[in-house]
Amino acid sequence: MEFLINDIYRATEGEGVFVGRSQVFVRFQGCNIGCVNCDSMDTWSFDIESTSLNTIFERILEESYQGKINWISITGGDPLHPKHVPSVVELTKFLKSKGFKINLEAAGTRVVDEVFDLLDYISYDLKTPSTGVRTRLSLIEKMAQQYPNRFQVKAVIADRKDFEYTLSAYRELESKLGNIEFPWVLTPCYEPSEEFPMQRFIDIQEWNQIEGGPFRVIGQQHKWIFGADKKSV
Q: What is the pLDDT of residue 191?
A: 76
Taking a C-beta distance cutoff of 8 angstroms, is the pair 43, 33 a contact? no
The phi, psi pair for 103, rounded to 5°, reads: -110, 145
Q: What is the pLDDT of residue 215?
A: 98
Residue 189, pLDDT > 70, answer yes
Nearest C-alpha neighbor of 162 from the set 191, 138, 187, 142: 187
All structural domains of the chain, each given as residue ranges with its CATH number in brackets, are 5-226 (3.20.20.70)
Which H/E stretch holds residue 170?
Answer: helix 160-177
Q: What is the pLDDT of residue 193?
A: 75
Within 13 A of 80's CA, how many CA atoms are on the CB side? 20
- For the whole model, what pTM was predicted? 0.93
Residue 229 pLDDT level (bands cut at 50, 70, 90): low
Residue 104's beta-bridge partner residues?
A: 74, 122
Residue 222, pLDDT > 90, answer no
pLDDT in tens, 195-220: 888 999 999 999 999 999 999 999 88
Q: What letters, b where the CB count within 10 A reaches 16 and e where it falls short, cover 38-69?
A: bbeeebbeeeeeebeeeebbebbeebbeeeeb
The phi, psi pair for 137, rounded to 5°, reads: -65, -25
Largest CA distance in the chain: 51
* HEC letters along 38-107: CCCHHHCCCCCCCECHHHHHHHHHHHCCCCCCCEEEEECCCCCCCCCHHHHHHHHHHHHHCCCEEEEEEC
